[in-house]
C-alpha cells in the first residue's frame, strides 16, 4: 500500500492506494475538545465577577494577559502557585477561598469597580483631580434637577 497527500485548493487530500486502485479516504472530522471549567476555574470566574472585574481588568491587575485569565477560568486545574497570592489580593479573598479550601463569605460588597476608579482619581495631580470632580459634580447636579422636575410634575 502507498500513501499520498495532495494539496487541492486550500484542502489537503490524503489517499491510500494499493497497486493501481485508489481507496477514497473517509473523512471524519476530529471532535472539538469540550471546554469545561475546572472547579478552580468556575470559582475564579465567580470571584472575579463578584469583585467587579472583567477578564482584561484582572489581567492588568495581575500583570498578565486576558488570554491567560480565560485559560485559568476554563482549562487550568489551578493557577501557578506564584500567582495565587496576587490573585487572592486582587479579588479581595484569601488563597484558601480561591483554592476552595474555605467557603467565600456571602456579604454585600460595595462596587469595587467604582472604588478602584476612585483610588486612581486620588493618584491624579491636584489640577486633574479638581477638573474631574467638577465634571462629576455637574452630572450629579443635572440628575438632581431632573429628579426635582419629575417630582414637581
User: pLDDT tens digits, residue range 73-117?
Assistant: 998 888 889 999 999 999 989 999 998 888 877 655 666 778 788
Q: What span, in angstroms and rounded, lies between the C-alpha atoms of 49 and 92? A: 12
- 62 and 88 inside one domain: yes
DSSP alpha helices (H): ranges in the chain? 39-50, 55-62, 66-74, 84-91, 95-99, 112-122, 126-152
Residue 70 belongs to domain with CATH number: 1.10.260.40
pTM (2 d.p.): 0.53
- 95 and 117 inside one domain: no
Q: How far is CA 137 from CA 11, 130, 144, in A?
A: 62, 10, 10
- 46 and 82 inside one domain: yes
Per-chain mean pLDDT for the chain: 79
Domains identified in the chain, total number: 2
Amino acid at each position: 500500500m502507498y500513501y499520498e497527500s495532495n494539496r487541492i485548493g486550500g484542502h489537503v487530500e490524503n489517499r491510500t492506494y494499493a497497486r493501481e486502485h485508489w481507496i477514497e479516504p473517509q473523512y471524519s472530522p476530529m471532535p472539538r475538545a469540550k471546554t469545561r471549567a475546572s472547579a478552580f476555574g468556575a470559582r475564579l470566574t465567580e470571584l472575579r465577577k463578584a469583585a467587579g472585574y472583567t477578564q482584561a481588568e484582572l489581567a492588568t491587575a495581575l500583570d498578565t494577559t486576558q488570554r491567560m485569565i480565560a485559560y485559568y477560568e476554563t482549562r487550568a486545574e489551578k493557577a501557578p502557585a506564584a500567582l495565587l497570592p496576587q490573585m487572592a489580593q486582587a479579588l479581595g479573598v484569601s488563597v484558601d477561598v480561591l483554592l476552595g479550601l474555605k467557603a467565600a463569605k456571602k456579604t454585600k460588597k460595595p462596587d469595587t469597580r467604582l472604588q478602584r476608579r476612585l483610588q486612581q482619581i486620588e493618584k491624579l495631580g491636584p489640577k486633574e483631580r479638581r477638573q474631574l470632580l467638577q465634571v462629576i459634580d455637574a452630572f450629579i447636579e443635572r440628575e438632581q434637577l431632573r429628579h426635582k422636575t419629575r417630582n414637581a410634575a
